[in-house]
Amino acid sequence: MDSAPQDQNWHLESEGLLAGYDGTAVCGEFNVELHSGSALALAGANGSGKSTLLRTLSGRQKPVKGRVRMDQAPIDERSLNYRLRVAAVFDDDAFFPSLTVNEHLLMIALGHGRVDAAAAVDSELHFFGLTNHAEAFPHSLSSGQRRRLLLASAFVRPFSFLVLDEPEQRLDQTMRHRLAERMVRSTAAGARILMATHDPLLLSAAADRCALLDGDEVAFVAPGHAAETISR
Ligand SMILES: Nc1ncnc2c1ncn2[C@@H]1O[C@H](COP(=O)(O)OP(=O)(O)OP(=O)(O)O)[C@@H](O)[C@H]1O
């Protein structure tokens, strides 16, 4: 079940954006609009600035220059609007050690007001292959299973903007395919997706645009072209 709220009209936009640290940009100026039903991938070599740009575009990090607006207002990760709409998966293995897999997902679903929380949790456990681990604590999961739990935590709640930093990490090929299909379903339901990835499969199957980062250059290319480029 996909659960993007019906808010088709707003969009995310960046203008004159430079992302980086201590006043120094790590990649080129980034101007983009991300509308309902659209999935943008950031690709490029290690260190090209994908994660930094992703964090900046999603309001987790202050820009060196320029601005990011969500719903025509400066993006603010503490705002109610942000919390209601943005689901993000970064590379932080942050779980409560004393909560089971099932309890984690239930807490997130209930916290985001899902009236069908128990059914939503069952559905995500099934989708992410965690049903047999529902009563396990996070420390007893494999690293790939913990990654699946992180992803399930994003999909179990309603969102209209999904942010994924290298979601392919530690996932097997079957799960990558399933994730790509799921992302396509989410955009079809009206969500906006922004991801950083090294995975040609996710690029070509789940994105409709790709920004290739290379030094000061940002090139918007077709995902298939980017997938070929990074496969070489
Ligand atoms: N906290 C930080 N403080 C200062 N510089 C940083 C910090 N984090 C990353 N960098 C630098 O910013 C540049 C871009 O890093 P970033 O993690 O955004 O790249 P990436 O494209 O996501 O790389 P990868 O593919 O390896 O994940 C790198 O040169 C890195 O050393």
The 10s digit of each residue's pLDDT in 167-221 is: 999 999 999 999 999 999 999 999 999 999 999 999 999 999 999 999 999 999 9
The 10s digit of each residue's pLDDT in 55-114 is: 999 999 999 999 999 988 999 999 999 999 999 998 767 789 999 999 999 999 999 999
Atom of ligand 1 nearest to the CA of 196: 22
Whose CA is closest to atom 31 on ligand 1? 47
Out of 52, 165, 195, mutate this one to test ligand 1's pocket (max ligand atoms within 8 Å of CB): namely: 52
97 Cβ contact partners less than 8 Å away, ≥ 6 residues apart: 137, 138, 139
User: Residue 95 has which token pair?
Assistant: 């779980």
Q: Which residues line ligand 1 (CB under 6 A)?
A: 21, 26, 44, 46-52, 196
Whose CA is closest to atom 29 on ligand 1? 47
Q: How far apart are CA 130 and CA 125, in angstroms?
A: 5
Dihedral sign for Cα atoms in the order 156, 185, 72, 15: positive
Q: How far apart are CA 39 and CA 160, in angstroms?
A: 12
ipTM, interface predicted TM-score of the complex = 0.98
Which of 64, 54, 49 is closest to 34 using CA atoms? 54
Q: How far, in Å, from the CA of 143 to the mean position of ligand 1? A: 23
Q: How far, in Å, from the CA of 216 to the mean position of ligand 1? A: 14
Q: How far apart are CA 171 and CA 193, in angstroms?
A: 19
* pTM for this entry: 0.94
